[in-house]
Amino acid sequence: VVHIKGDNPDAVVPGLLAAGEAACASVHGANRLGANSLLDIVVFGRACANRVAETCKP
């Protein structure tokens, strides 16, 4: 659960990441063909993993 603090509902929450179709609804537009999700796994999964590796260094 994300709690809004202050008057800014668009404030960035440090460390909160979204992946997959939750991260960007505009990739497929109004319709998503079934097989398109397979390519998404490869392309966006790798991009997400790279971003997490950059952001969440121990």
| pLDDT tens digits along 1-58 | 567 778 887 778 777 877 766 676 666 666 667 776 777 778 888 888 888 888 887 7
- pLDDT at residue 1, as a whole number: 58
- pLDDT at residue 22, as a whole number: 67
- pLDDT at residue 26, as a whole number: 67
* Cα 41 to Cα 22, 24, 27, 33, 46, distances in angstroms: 13, 13, 13, 14, 8
Domain ranges of the chain: 20-55
pTM of the model: 0.52
